[in-house]
Amino acid sequence: MSDKTYGFGLVGCGVIAPTHAEAIMRLENAELRGVCDLNEEAATACAAEYGAQPHTDLAEMLARDDIDVVNILTPSGLHARLGIQCADAGKHVICTKPIDITLENIDALIASGERNNVRIAATHQNRGYPIYEKIKSYIDDGKFGEILYGSAFVPWYRSDEYYSDGWHGTKKLDGGGALINQSIHYIDLLIWFMGRVERIYGFADALAHDIETEDMGSAVLKFEGGKHGIIQGSTCTYNGMPARIEVHGTKGNVLVVGDDLALWDVEGEERFEDALAGRKGGAADPKGGMQENAIVSHVKQIGDVIAAIEEGREPVLNGREARRAVEVILSVYKSSETGQPVVL
């Protein structure tokens, strides 16, 4: 690792910006040097909080030689377009989830990274939580035996006010609703655990909000090797409930509720159960998941991007890896629209 300190810029000073800023500040070889937002007041406030320079013009920020990496934290439908602009300026790019809302846009972003020899990456914070890292390592090491099935349920709530900001719940900027914005955290985990999805049959509807996308989505999945899966995500659950994800194999079961371990039952190990798991999280609060564990996870993922630059490799959560969850969610939408299963 070199002695270089990497300069970072943020594009978008909304809800997730403090998490990225805090994570960058904790990395010894990173420094937040610029923030950009069309809202001058938001840019100025964020810059003052974290000791950076505010910008309202992205081109102006990209012209700075002291910025090496740009984190895209805008509405989802702008990620690829802004990311390509950054890559064409020679900057490495990190997008908050989802990396974008269409596969065409994502592929164009990936291509821009290759064309400009810069790294394209994404953040999916849940992958960095210790319990999910442990589950992944157990699966990879075969400690759960042969994986048979898994599921992800995200029964959350978002208010009408949440959907009144001009971009949430819109096809143009959000790309969808409950699945692509909220449930993607756990859909990404399920794919990470279970492997490649081969076939999907799904439904997506607006049941309780007047929005053009879904506040309720459900799907059954067939994974490679014959494994089964279920995903269900909502933003219309009364008061919201903790998300839960479970994986079942021939030698073990694991259940996580609200990012807390609820059941650990693995051959050769002491059984663990916690009936009180899941008392925190973002079930009804968009800021509920922006806690210490989220910052630590971002430190890991942003730090890996720096390591990838130094080592001349792809980031672990590169563009193609981040593309997988979006492809699955868009396939649920397609299946719902056509009434037919989708083969990936």
Q: Look up the CATH number of the domain holding residue 58.
A: 3.40.50.720
Residue 154 CB-density burial (10 A; 0-12 exposed, 13-18 middle, 19+ buried):
buried
CA 186 to chain centre: 9
Domain shared by 236 and 166, yes or no: yes
pLDDT band at residue 291, thresholds of 50, 70 and 90? confident
Domain shared by 194 and 305, yes or no: no
Residue 219 is assigned to a structural domain of this protein: yes
Range of the domain at 187: 128-284+326-343
Name residue 317's amino acid: L
Domain shared by 264 and 305, yes or no: no
Give the tens place of pLDDT for each residue, 93-137.
999 999 999 999 999 999 999 999 999 999 999 999 999 999 999
Domain shared by 169 and 259, yes or no: yes
Strand order, beta sheet including 197-205 = 272-273, 260-266, 252-257, 244-249, 147-155, 228-234, 216-223, 197-205, 342-343
pTM summary value:
0.95
Domain shared by 244 and 332, yes or no: yes
Domain shared by 169 and 300, yes or no: no
pLDDT band at residue 278, thresholds of 50, 70 and 90? confident
Residue 189 is assigned to a structural domain of this protein: yes
Domain shared by 307 and 263, yes or no: no
- CATH code: domain of residue 213: 3.30.360.10
Q: Give the total number of structural domains in the chain.
A: 2
Residue 200 is assigned to a structural domain of this protein: yes
Instruction: Decide the pairing of beta strands 120-123 and 53-55.
Output: unpaired
Domain shared by 59 and 94, yes or no: yes
Name residue 178's amino acid: A
Domain shared by 190 and 337, yes or no: yes
Residue 101 is assigned to a structural domain of this protein: yes
Domain shared by 303 and 277, yes or no: no
Report the residue count for the chain: 344
